[in-house]
Amino acid sequence: MARVNLLKQIKIDDRWVLRSIPKKPNGQRDWNALPDGSYFIEWRENSKRRRLPAGTTVAQALEVQRRKHAELGALATGIIAPRLQTEDVKKAPLQGELSAGLRKG
């Protein structure tokens, strides 16, 4: 199953950095361990790391993480078809298409 990591963007010495949420000794996340900031989700797609903003509250971040995890699971099992990215689509030159169309007709 796909992993969707939850990160928090915080400001340290005038720089914004992403940090993973630390865990308590009992294994639960310690939501108060880091200063205020916004949340992001991170996952791998075609060997590329992808990130999206996930909100400013814990509830928003957990909901975005849950939805992305469900989407990746549905893609893996074939329930939904993958979306084509613009970088995946190779466009043929217009002149070549026009020439091919003129030769046919």
pLDDT at 89 over 70: no
- Residue 67 contacts residue 80 (beta carbons within 8 Å): no
Rounded to the nearest 10°, the torsion over CA 81, 84, 85, 91 is: 170
pLDDT at 73 over 80: yes
Domain boundaries along the sequence of the chain: 5-104
The CB-side HSE value for 19 (13 A sphere, CA atoms) comes to 17
Q: What does the mean pLDDT of the chain come to?
A: 85
- Residue 9 contacts residue 18 (beta carbons within 8 Å): yes
- pTM metric for this prediction: 0.73
What is the reported pLDDT for 91?
A: 56
How is the beta sheet containing 38-45 ordered, strand by strand?
A: 15-20, 5-12, 38-45, 48-55
